[in-house]
Structure 1
Amino acid sequence: MENFYAFPATMVLIAINVLVSIAGWLNPQFLVSNLFHVAPIREKREYHRLITSGFLHGGVFHLLINMFVLFQFGRFIEYELGTPRFLIVYFAALLGGNLWALMENFRSPDYRALGASGATSGIILSFCLFQPFAMLIFFIIPMPAVVFAVLFIGISVFLAQRENRVIGHEAHIGGAVAGLIATIAVAPYSLSVFSQQISAFLSGG
């Protein structure tokens, strides 16, 4: 309960993700009607999918990974920004990730995707602004958050070009970029926090 009162938006978002994902597993029609699918978005203007798809997941493991990331990083960002600004960053990243995926796959009407990874990518990159030298794990290798951010975006851009991919790397890119922009927009001081830490590191401080 302490986590709920300290980080209400993070905990509510996790609960919504879990409930909506379970609803999708139990009701295939609900899943099909709300996942990210280019054809109905483009042709039928079913724009709700740009949001609802971010609360659906393909399986328990997929859900657990995204909720673990949201729990770990969302609490920090909600504490740093406050609940309203945290929610702006979260939904900006969610929407930005799916808009990027729509742009990249606009001529692929059968393209489908689901999951909160666009939103969580934005939250991770927001964290990197405030804590560029916090140690994060990337493929079992520990590294500073700022290095993680560069590698994450670079690898996502590379993997997004591959054919027959099963992970929506486009949403990772769009979500990361939107999360950074939204964080700077709602908390301009984040750039100063970031630059001061980088300057201190380069000067040996």
Structure 2
Amino acid sequence: MEVDWKLHRRRPIATYILIATNIAVYIISSYQNFLTQISDDWVTRYAFVPIMLQEPMQWYRIFTSMFLHGDILHIFFNMWFLYMFGKEVELSLGITRYLAIYFLSGISATLFHTAFIPILGSINLLIPALGASGAISGVLGAYMMMYPRRRLSACWFLFIFPFCFTTSTSFFMLFWFATQVIYGYLRFGSVAFFAHVGGFLGGITFLYTFSRKAYRYEQLVLPWGFTITIEIGLSKLEKLVFATLVLAVIGGTIYSYIIASQMTNVYMITIRACMNNVCSSDKAAFDPITNDNVPPSEDYPRIVFNRFVWADLLRYRPGLVKYEQDGKGILQYSGWVPTSFGRGITVLVDVSGWAEYDSRGVLIYFNGSVTTQVIQIDRFFGIVRRTEELYRYDVNMYSSDVAQGFGENFVRPMALVSTFISIVSLIVSMYKDRELSMEEYWGYQPFIYTPI
């Protein structure tokens, strides 16, 4: 592949638009928190929650989650990496191929994140995932294959002292990729490391898919009448390291496929709530062991669900169910309950209706009414206040343990697709690396400075 120097005089429009869009969404979603972190409402409505894949109307989260960021540092570093590496990939591939790799890598990140849930724990079915990291990881994977010998200067801090070094793209990316695989298996922190792994491998796979015939450049003739090129492609040692890491990932996807059917204790709850003949339906998710939950997006079902959670009515409590027989009876509860907003805010909750609990003591059916006060939130000033007026909702709700079904219907297919992407990326890196590498001249070796 020869270098087209005209490419480096163009503007990476798509990268600029992606950065501007991400920043705009972050401002809108975090202004009520003074731009320090995203609001809970945006996470609830638009972040990717794996269990919600069972509801086709919630699949939009796969896309919207790519534009959400948890806090200001999250978006800063993501946009920094996107700017430093994305513009080079875009200028070489063109806007269409670049955006295809970007968004498909984001989807690949979602696939891997979901595929590894049996290893990470069923509770991850309920944990929201957000950020452009998966898509940007795909850009990093493509960059490594295209510019393996380009020099990068990276810095990190040891306490307050900066430590900087310069190395090749391939070494830097392989080191970063290794940390994601290792941290993922160690369950380190709250970061979706396997989403980064999936995005990275997806970037390599889709680069080969979209760019095999993309490079058609004119040969550059230097004033001296000759050219000096550097070695392109990955070295044998780098291929060995990468192959070892990818095989470790493939082992995980295969293991997830095997144990996916053993997942349990995540309930999907369907809620229909009506007030003044106006009805709304939505779904929620609940883990009875940890009490973690994902509330509905629609207002009426969300209000009802929150009251059941705050009053701890989703799990069986002796004395609340009258005329009980085999977990069935009349559920009656009335009292003040603390809300999830803190600040000492409580609401009055009155629940009455026919209820049924399963053998695990989890509410699987309710038909009755919920009377309560409503919490009003001023999104601009962050003010939370309780109404004095009581609102009555006619409620019908039912639930079932969907973790096992989720493993069969979603985790297993995604584990297979993740395995396929991993295998393709391994083949591409082993045998197609020179075909994908951009031939760079000794006189053109830019340094890219990036924090890690």
CA contact (8 A) 1:105 1:111 kept: no
What is the CA deviation profile of residues 30-51 of structure 1, one whole-angstrom value per residue up to 9, with x for unaligned ones? 331111212222x323221111
* Pick aligned residue for 2:178 from 132, 154, 178: 154
Q: Name the counterpart of 2:18.
A: 13
Pairing partner for 2:27 from 22, 29, 34: 22
Tell me the CA shift for residue 97 of structure 1: 0.7
Q: How do 1:114-153 residues align onto structure 2 when only pairs under 5 Å count?
A: 114-136=130-152, 137=154, 139=156, 140-153=164-177
TM-score, with structure 2 as normaliser? 0.40
Structure 2 distance, partners of 1:24, 1:170, is: 25
Q: 1:28 Cα deviation (Å)?
A: 3.4
Aligned to 1:44: 55
1:202 matched to which residue of 2? none
The offset of 1:193, in angstroms, is 4.2
| Secondary structure in structure 2 of the residue aligned to 1:160 | helix
Output the amino acid matched with 1:80.
S
Quote the Cα distance in structure 2 between the aligned partners of 1:156 and 1:164: 10
- Summarize deviations over 1:12-35 as a string: whole Å, max 9, x none: 111111112222224532331111
1:134-190 alpha-carbon deviations (Å, 9 max, x no partner): 123275443211112222222211101123622111111000001111111111268
The answer to whether 1:79 aligns with 2:91 is yes
Aligned 8 A contact 2:49 2:126 in 1: yes
The residue identity in structure 1 corresponding to 2:80 is: F
Contact 1:90 1:179 in 2 (8 A): yes
* Alpha-carbon separation, structure 2, partners of 1:138 and 1:31: 31
- Give structure 2 stretches of 5+ with no counterpart: 1-9, 32-38, 157-163, 214-431, 441-452
Tell me which of 175, 185, 210 is aligned to 1:186.
210
Name the CA distance, whole Å, in 2 between partners of 1:105 and 1:155: 19
The structural deviation recorded for 1:112 is 2.0
1:169-180 alignment, distance < 5 Å? 169-180=193-204
RMSD: 2.3
- Using the TM superposition, give the Cα deviation of residue 111 of structure 1 relative to its aligned residue in structure 2, in angstroms: 2.3
Could you say which residue in structure 2 is the equivalent of 1:105?
117
Partner Cα separation in structure 1 for residue 28 and residue 103 of structure 2: 21
Name 1:201's counterpart in structure 2: none
**Contact 1:160 1:168 survives alignment (8 Å):** yes
Match of residue 275 from structure 2: none
Question: Secondary structure in 2 aligned to 1:178?
Answer: helix
In structure 2, distance between residues paired with 1:186 and 1:59: 33
How many pairs does the alignment contain? 193
Question: Which one has a larger percent strand, Structure 1 or Structure 2?
Answer: 2
Deviates more, 1:154-163 or 1:88-97: 154-163
Whether 1:58 and 2:55 are equivalent positions in the alignment is no
Contact 1:25 1:31 in 2 (8 A): no
State the secondary structure of the residue aligned to 2:125. Answer: coil
Q: Which amino acid aligns with 2:212?
A: P
Q: 2: CA distance between counterparts of 1:161 and 1:33?
A: 29
* Cα distance in 2, alignment partners of residues 72 and 150 from structure 1: 17
Indicate the structure (1 or 2) with the bigger Cα radius of gyration: 2
SS at match of 2:202: helix
Q: In structure 2, how many angstroms separate the alpha carbons of the residues matched to 1:138 and 1:147? A: 14
The gaps in structure 1 that reach 5 residues or longer are 198-205
Give the Cα–Cα distance (whole angstroms) in 2 for the partners of residues 162 and 12 of structure 1. 36
Tell me, yes or no, if the aligned pair for 2:208 and 2:436 is still in contact at 8 Å: no
SS of the residue 2:190 aligns to? coil
CA drift of 1:131 comes to 0.9
The one-letter amino acid of 2:170's match is: V
SS of residue paired to 1:13: helix
Q: Is the 8 A contact 1:10 1:78 kept in 2?
A: yes
Report the Cα offset of residue 87 of structure 1: 0.4
CA distance in 1, matches of 2:439, 2:85: 21
Structure 1 residue 69 corresponds to structure 2 residue 51: no
What TM-score does the superposition give when structure 1 sets the normalisation length?
0.85
If asked which structure has higher relative contact order (CA below 8 Å, sep 6+), I would say 1
Larger helix proportion of the pair: 1
Q: Counterpart amino acid of 1:170?
A: F
Counterpart of 2:47 in structure 1: which amino acid? Answer: L
Identity of aligned residues (%): 25
